[in-house]
Structure 1
Amino acid sequence: MKIQHLRNGVILVCIGLVFLFNNLGYVDWEVWETILSWWPIYLIALGIEIVFRNSKLKLVAIISPLTFAFFILGPAWWQWEGKEEDRLVQESRWSEEILPETNLLQADLDFHLGNLTIAQAADKKVNCRLEYEGTQPVWDFSQKEGSAKLAIQDRSHKTFGITFGSAGFSQADFRGWDRKEWQVELDGSTPLELKLSSQVSKNDLDLSKLRLKSLELCLQVAKANIRLGEKSDTIRVNLEQDLSKVNLWVPKESAIQLQKDVDLGGISYSHLNIVKADQVEAETGLTGHPVIHLTYQGALCKLNIRGY
């Protein structure tokens, strides 16, 4: 058997096993952050294979499939066995009051490696509880001329590597994820424009009680559950996904204008009011029910739209 055929087979088997473990719940999707981070080692392994596969030392080329197997299955196995060291997770809490004259809230969030929850605040405030390890998230909140702006940037980093002691190899830590929790509560009476970039994460966005005007969501290797409400007449939603899955819940009586540009992805919906562009103006006359302009694009992604 040619070494390149063996290597390709090993890669497919290993990737398939990790996806299987993801679907069965044994391994979290965050493990792909670690697997993809080893890309320089994959290039080195391929180089060794190319150099030696047609030489007298062609047995050295076996390093290539072994390397791929170790660095793809290794992080998944390490997470499954639960051999992670305890981490010191710190927490930042703060709250800002929305001024009475503020008529627009613009929120820009950058999040990765953890679980994010967005919901309505109990009062006219912005409340945040942000967990972090190492570097504290950077946040800024300002209000002027009737507009409030909130920006939060996640600065956490991956912590994985191989440790060598006086006796040689001592520990392998494949942690490329951070199980932190972010909880963000936004004022439900102020019109909201929300922009979220989320990577290697799980996102629970209950926007049903917020006056949402627009949502821009960029996901990479992530999951998201999004619930829209009826507090706005028109909602513009732009979903950009790569290796991600989104469950979108909308009011059953809402009208949805859908535009999609997806490679190797899928979309499912049933018993919903999907309208064409020339029908949107007529649908806006429906009282009490929003019109949702939904743009869906990405690769290797899945979108499920359900009514409630």
Structure 2
Amino acid sequence: MNRDRIVTGIILIGIGIMFLLANMGLVSWWSFSALFDFWPLILVVVGINIMFKKNTIVSVISWVLFFGVLIGFSFYNFNGDMASGRPGTHNMTIANQTETTEGDVKLVLGGVKMNMSSTENHLFDASYSSREIRTEERHNDNKVIIKVEPKEKNKFIKTNSDSEYFNAKLNKDVVWDIDASIGAVSGELDFGDLSIRNLDLDIGAGNIDLFMGDQYIQSNVEINTGASKLKLYIKEGVGVKIKLAGILSKTNLSDLGWVKEGDYYYSNNYQEAKSQINFDINVGVGKFDIIVR
């Protein structure tokens, strides 16, 4: 048989086995980050193949050993996570502090199922599945600053999976600024009971239900997304201004009977509403709906 075909076949089989194991839940999708740890081994294998170019057996053995090490390392990491209660048991909890009245949350996440809501028990309470996430907490006078981001940027490459999640609850008595950059996401962001001053969502692709309430006088929400399905739930009585851009396959804005002036849509009660939300939404390709409830 042709040597190049054999080697190519082994590489495809090895990659296929890794994807199969991940889909079956036998290893985590995060195991693929091991490629960044073992990239020098790829150079070793390629070097062996160059030195023994005419020896098919050596080439086959080198690639089989490479994928054997990679898969073995994935099993080892995954079993270690399970033995220590991971994945899914990483937590970040910030206790209530009476002097804290403002919060600043910065999120950088890959592909993930995400849910956010309110709480009275803590300032901030989060649980997440990935051990590659680094969290940081700082207090500045009456403000808490929270960062959730990858430990190493070059490792934050993953495939969206039901096994990867990030759930968080924010204190309902604090005024929040939220800046989130997410690769691919599905889930529910229920801010109906929260005082949201500024919300900035940068999403690659996803399916998101966003709930906004009337707890803050004037909220500013900016959403930039590639290919997404976005449902926006607004509490009845809230004044809404929306600037919408992008290529939308479907939107119900024209069915709401709102006033359109230039690039903006205004709810009929915008001027007199006690609580107002200003939206700047850019959807690359996708669907956008507003539900007033």
What TM bracket, shorter-length normalisation? 0.5 to 0.7
Give how far 1:82 is off: 5.1
User: Per the alignment, do residues 158 and 178 of structure 1 end up closer, same or farther by CA in structure 2, a change over 3 Å counting?
Assistant: farther
Q: Which residue of 1 aligns with 2:95?
A: 97
Letter in structure 2 aligned against 1:141: E
**Partners of 2:243 and 2:265 within 8 A in 1:** no
User: Per the alignment, do residues 266 and 93 of structure 1 end up closer, same or farther by CA in structure 2, a change over 3 Å counting?
Assistant: same
Q: Which residue of 2 aligns with 1:129?
A: 127
Q: Which residue of 1 aligns with 2:143?
A: 147
Number of aligned pairs?
217
Q: Which residue of 2 aligns with 1:304?
A: 289
Q: Which residue of 1 aligns with 2:280?
A: 295
Letter in structure 2 aligned against 1:153: E
Q: Which residue of 2 aligns with 1:65?
A: none
Root mean square deviation, CA, Å: 3.3
Letter in structure 1 aligned against 2:292: G
User: Per the alignment, do residues 154 and 145 of structure 1 end up closer, same or farther by CA in structure 2, a change over 3 Å counting?
Assistant: same
User: Per the alignment, do residues 188 and 274 of structure 1 end up closer, same or farther by CA in structure 2, a change over 3 Å counting?
Assistant: farther
User: Quick check: 1:218 aligned with 2:202?
Assistant: yes
Report 1:142-181 matches (<5 A). Answer: 142-155=138-151, 157-158=156-157, 177=161, 179-181=163-165
Letter in structure 1 aligned against 2:226: D
**Partners of 1:256 and 1:291 within 8 A in 2:** yes
Give how far 1:178 is off: 6.5
Give how far 1:199 is off: 1.6
**Partners of 1:255 and 1:275 within 8 A in 2:** no
**Partners of 2:187 and 2:209 within 8 A in 1:** yes
SS of structure 2 residue aligned to 1:221: strand
Give how far 1:93 is off: 1.3
Letter in structure 2 aligned against 1:306: I
SS of structure 1 residue aligned to 2:26: coil
Q: Hey, what's the Cα distance between the residues in 2 that align with 1:254 and 1:187?
A: 21
Q: Hey, what's the Cα distance between the residues in 1 that align with 2:218 and 2:125?
A: 26
Report 1:2-151 matches (<5 A). Answer: 83=24, 85-87=26-28, 88=78, 89-90=86-87, 91-132=89-130, 135-151=131-147
Q: Which runs of 5+ in 1 are unaligned?
A: 1-69, 160-174
User: Quick check: 1:286 aligned with 2:227?
Assistant: no
Give how far 1:264 is off: 5.1
Give how far 1:222 is off: 1.2
Q: Which residue of 2 aligns with 1:7?
A: none
Q: Which runs of 5+ in 2 are unaligned?
A: 1-11, 29-77, 79-85
Give how far 1:185 is off: 0.8
Over the matched positions of the two proteins, sequence identity in percent amounts to: 10
TM-score where L is the length of structure 1: 0.61
**Partners of 1:191 and 1:210 within 8 A in 2:** yes
Q: Hey, what's the Cα distance between the residues in 1 that align with 2:92 and 2:177?
A: 21
Deviation per CA, 1:98-119: give whole Å up to 9, x if none.
4222221111111222211111
Q: Hey, what's the Cα distance between the residues in 1 that align with 2:162 and 2:93?
A: 24
Give how far 1:241 is off: 0.9
Q: Hey, what's the Cα distance between the residues in 1 that align with 2:249 and 2:231?
A: 14
Q: Which residue of 1 aligns with 2:237?
A: 253
Q: Hey, what's the Cα distance between the residues in 2 that align with 1:210 and 1:304?
A: 21
Q: Hey, what's the Cα distance between the residues in 2 that align with 1:214 and 1:99?
A: 22
